[in-house]
Amino acid sequence: MTTIPKEKFVLEMGPSNEGVDKVASGSTVVFESFDCFSNSIQSEEDTFSSIGWANINPATGPLYVEGAEVGDTLKVEILDLEIGDQAAMTTIPNAGTFAKTVDQEKTKIIPIKDGRAIFNEHLSFPIDPMVGVIGTAAANEDIPTGTPGDHGGNLDCKRVEKGATLYLPVNQPGALLSMGDAHSNMGDGELLICGVEIPSVTTVRVTVVKGQEYPLPCIVNEDQFMTLASAETLDDASVKAAENMQSFLIERLQMDPIEAGMLLSAVGDLRVCQIVNPMKTARVEIPKSVVDKYNYAFK
Residue 19 lies in a domain: no
Same domain, yes or no, for 91 and 114?
yes
Find the CATH number of the domain harbouring 202: 2.60.120.580
Residue 115 lies in a domain: yes
Same domain, yes or no, for 189 and 234?
no
- For residue 227, what are the domain limits? 218-289
Same domain, yes or no, for 74 and 204?
yes
d(CA 234, CA 236): 5
Find the CATH number of the domain harbouring 274: 3.10.28.20
Domain boundary pick from 174, 208, 242: 208
Same domain, yes or no, for 145 and 263?
no
HSE-up of residue 284 (Cα within 13 Å, Cβ side): 25
pLDDT at 99: 82
Residue 20 lies in a domain: no
pLDDT at 216: 98
Query: If 0-12 CB within 10 Å is exposed, 13-18 middle and 19+ buried, where does residue 218 land?
Result: buried
Residue 16 lies in a domain: no
Same domain, yes or no, for 94 and 233?
no
Residue 21 lies in a domain: no
pLDDT at 250: 98
How confident is the chain (299 residues) per 10-residue block, as mean pLDDT?
97 97 98 97 92 88 98 98 98 85 93 98 98 97 97 98 98 98 98 96 98 97 98 98 98 98 98 97 98 96
Same domain, yes or no, for 229 and 119?
no
> In angstroms, what CA-CA distances link 145 with 22, 77, 136, 193?
21, 20, 10, 15
Q: Are 264 and 241 in contact (CB under 8 A)?
A: no
pLDDT at 231: 98
Same domain, yes or no, for 244 and 272?
yes
Same domain, yes or no, for 200 and 134?
yes
pLDDT at 155: 98
pLDDT at 160: 98
DSSP state of 50: G
Same domain, yes or no, for 111 and 246?
no
Same domain, yes or no, for 196 and 261?
no
pLDDT at 182: 98
Residue 18 lies in a domain: no
What is the number of structural domains in the chain? 2
Same domain, yes or no, for 204 and 228?
no
Domain boundary pick from 163, 178, 208: 208
Tell whether the torsion through CA atoms of 9, 14, 245 and 189 is positive or negative. Answer: positive
Residue 98 lies in a domain: yes
Strand partners, 13: 143
Question: φ, ψ for residue 260 (rounded to 5)?
Answer: -65, -40
Domain boundary pick from 156, 177, 208: 208
Q: Taking CA 127 as the corner, what is the angle to CA 122 and CA 133, rounded to the nearest 5 degrees?
A: 125
Which ranges in 125-278 belong to alpha helices (H)?
A: 234-251, 257-267
Same domain, yes or no, for 53 and 188?
yes
Residue 196 lies in a domain: yes
Q: Which of 92, 58, 53, 84 is nearest to 194 (CA)?
A: 92
